[in-house]
Amino acid sequence: AIEYDVHALQVKWQSYWDEHGTFRTDDPADTRPRKYVLDMFPYPSGDLHMGHAEAFAFGDIVARYWRQQGFNVLHPIGWDSFGLPAENAAIKRGVDPRDWTYANIEQQKTSFRRYGTSFDWSRELHTSDPEYYKWNQWLFLEMFKKGLAYRKASWVNWCPNDQTVLANEQVVEGRCERCGAVVEKQKKTQWYFKITDYADRLLDDLKQLEGSWPAKVIAMQRNWIGRSTGAEVDFAIEGRDEKVSVFTTRPDTLFGATFMVVAPESDLAAELAEGSTDAVRAAFADYRQQVQQSTEIERQDASRPKTGVFLDRFAINPVNGERLPVWAADYVLADYGTGAVMAVPAHDQRDLDFARAFDLPVRVVVDVNAPVTGAIPVIELDEQGDPILPELPDLNPAATGEALAGEGRLMNSGPLDGLSKQHAIKRIIEQLTADGTGRAAKSYRLRDWLISRQRYWGTPIPIVHGADGSLHPVPLEQLPVELPRTEGLDLQPKGQSPLGAATEWVETVNPVDGSPALRDTDTMDTFVDSSWYPLRFLSANDETRAFDPAEAEKWSPVDQYVGGVEHAILHLLYSRFITKVLYDLGHITFTEPFKALLNQGMVLMDGAKMSKSKGNLVEFVEQLDQYGADAIRVTMAFAGPPEDDIDWADVSANGSAKFLARAFRLAKDVTSERDVVWKGGDEKLRRQTHRLLADAPGLTEAFKFNVVVARLMELVNATRKTIDSGAGAGDPAVREATEAIALVLSIYAPYTAEEMWSVLGYEGSITSFGWRKADPTLLVEQSVTAVVQVDGKVRDRVDVPPTIDPDALQALALETAGAKRAIGDKAIVNVVVRAPRIVSISTK
């Protein structure tokens, strides 16, 4: 007897796929159209978890779907295997991060194979292999040559726990993205990638992704790049030769500026204080120290009382020559705009709070009560017929404490008086430009990407420092600069790269003149590794280059990317950036790496995120042992829209397993012979079969995996019914339905599908069979139900052919018992017919 033993099936078909190279995509003669389907590659920290089970089920559904539709599908897998968790785990356990990492990779690999993911294993990569990170170093040097990788000293985010710097993107609400420690600011010399050069393109190209990327991710990226448009205005400073520029989004309010504020940690603030009185110097020094001790979280808290120091210096407003006192205050950030602002307390809340705290003047320059559009306001009347006039905001922000941020018309502003805000902005920019005291300007929230890390387990930065401080790229033929072994190194985080202690490795020679020189001891942020890995999969075994441009042309961009929304900014922004860099360097011909993006939801347990500490962790491998791969995959697909969270307590892997066993039993029961064409049989079942074949592709492409599974369940039940009815297991429609079930299942439950296919008498893998097209004649609806209304009420229904003509339908409707009864002896005055659905009769 044929048994449905899921575990035996898994072993059988895994080795079949391996032996036959079923999922390899390396035949250059393959002429099928191509699809590149990619899941965000995993980080090897322990075995796969339920989150992986979900994301990789969805990615594999998409890959298997396109394959079944006749595409040559590239579906590769690799590991993002450098990074802090490996290093921290290694320190805790006293082992080499290599051993920990590669052992985890082996474990995850075993689980992936059991799960039946249709990967092309011949392209497997690990970012911690020298064969991979050699090309990170190549990329770094390409960017170094173009000035896109550079070193600078500046205030950086410092994680006191991991003892390393962090990119802005890795600071979440003032805390370290990895460990949650409150991030500190330190001034350090670090390596950066010049992502700010690409801010406009990163922003503008988001338009191309609308509709195929989740709107939320697009909005988050827009927000992160944060482009503001406005003007730069130059203020002369008494007793200083150079002017100070401020960035403002509201140059129209220039006549309302009553003081200037500079960021306390800026060089400008220090210099202005230095040139002031002894008392100011002392007060400023104290204040600066106080500011340095506060965290970013504290500084950005708007409800905190305003603090600051008057520098006893004055700026001159270029439009009216007014003297504005200059203050240093920590609500102004050193690294946004120019680090200095013109304060307009009447129209900016932060400036108003500050002005009220320090008793500085407030001058209204925009009348927010003056209408700016031509529309006549609709005025409502009260019970007495008197107009109810809207209450006008009080134009006295100094008293109310509410800044007037809205639209309006200019006042107290000389030549701008009477203009709307928008017109005034335009006019003043023209004026400033003509006078040479300002210009239109943009400002971005996006900062350059800090890529150096003071940790061991990453790609060494391929730079050599000459004795004179000069920087020299390691020549290409000397790449990779391999990580030294850990023997003799102390990996404990201590603020300096552990690589510094590898004396033999550090001490090298200047590639230019052979003089003694030192290697850079920092390693790269692992987001560099993942910023271009989709390209490496295309030439994973090529030792001569990062990737073959011809292969990139063939396969890129990725058609479908699948992964978590936690990467909405970091990884996805960096990948988009590096893709544009590679485009500019002439290595590729496209500018966006991922055509479409699917963000899966989370797998929860009892409404909460799973975690060991909460004791609600569901182990993926235990689920695999218990139910088998197919049942878990089907459960993931059936749970709901893929973007939604799945609560594992609310779904039933057991139910999925039973459904699969029922489907499998159909294949065993079919008694008719296999044939190249499907032949007749039970008409109703045939219609249902062909409906599923017709609908499954569209539903799968729209990620309505749950609907497809529901329809499969219905068809399995209907087929069983037909077998149990008179027609029996020999009815050709039963074979037809069962074959269709196997074909659709091949996308969702590959092991069951393969075995059904073989039980049904086919040789080889179902994946090479392709798809059966639905017979269009079986998709035509046989009859539809027309509604008969009399005077607006439904009185009867009648089943008619969908193609019925209106006259015939009207005649039928008038003959129905319900219509006759409702009409009685009343006269019919009108009949409206919308064939084939409605007949509407009116009487008098």
Closer Cβ to ligand ANZ, 249 or 652, answer by number:
249
Burial of 272 (0-12, 13-18, 19+ CB in 10 A): buried
Residues binding ligand ANZ (CB under 6 A): 228, 247-250, 253, 263, 332-333, 336-337, 339, 341-342, 344, 347-348, 443
Closer Cβ to ligand ANZ, 223 or 783, answer by number:
223
Closer Cβ to ligand ANZ, 440 or 621, answer by number:
440
Closer Cβ to ligand ANZ, 398 or 778, answer by number:
398
Closer Cβ to ligand ANZ, 358 or 771, answer by number:
358
Under 8 Å between Cβ of 619 and 653: no
Closer Cβ to ligand ANZ, 303 or 777, answer by number:
303
Distance in Å, CB of 504 to ligand ANZ, minimum: 46
Distance in Å, CB of 366 to ligand ANZ, minimum: 8
Distance in Å, CB of 336 to ligand ANZ, minimum: 4
Residues ≥6 apart with Cβ < 8 Å to 2: 668, 759
Q: Is the peptide bond before 836 cis (omega within 30 degrees of 0)?
A: yes
Tokens, residue 536: 């490496």
Give the separation between CA 562 and CA 41, rounded to whole angstroms: 10
Give the separation between CA 50 and CA 146, rounded to whole angstroms: 43
Distance in Å, CB of 331 to ligand ANZ, minimum: 6
Distance in Å, CB of 297 to ligand ANZ, minimum: 16
Give the separation between CA 378 and CA 161, rounded to whole angstroms: 60
Per-residue buried b or exposed e for 206-230, using 16+ beta carbons within 10 Å of the residue's own CB? beebeeebeeebbebbeebbebeeb
Tell me if residue 210 falls in helix, strand or coil: strand
Distance in Å, CB of 344 to ligand ANZ, minimum: 4
Q: Give how far Cα 295 sits from Cα of 72, 181, 398, Å.
A: 53, 11, 30
Closer Cβ to ligand ANZ, 141 or 329, answer by number:
329
Tell me if residue 425 falls in helix, strand or coil: helix
Residues ≥6 apart with Cβ < 8 Å to 524: 136, 140, 191, 451, 452, 453, 458, 459, 460, 461
Q: Spell out the alpha helix ranges (H) of 345-448.
A: 349-358, 397-400, 421-435
Q: Give how far Cα 139 sits from Cα of 148, 578, 837, Å.
A: 11, 9, 64
Distance in Å, CB of 436 to ligand ANZ, minimum: 20
The binding site consists of: 612
Distance in Å, CB of 200 to ligand ANZ, minimum: 15
The binding site for ATP consists of: 612
Give the separation between CA 60 and CA 600, rounded to whole angstroms: 13
In sequence order, what DSSP letters do the residues of 9-55 get, joined into one string? HHHHHHHHHHHHTTT----TT--S-EEEEEEPPPP-SSS--HHHHHH
∠ Cα 703 743 112 (to 5°): 65
Distance in Å, CB of 445 to ligand ANZ, minimum: 7
How long, in residues, is the chain?
844
Q: Residue 315: phi, psi to the nearest 5?
A: -105, 150
Closer Cβ to ligand ANZ, 160 or 393, answer by number:
393
Closer Cβ to ligand ANZ, 344 or 360, answer by number:
344
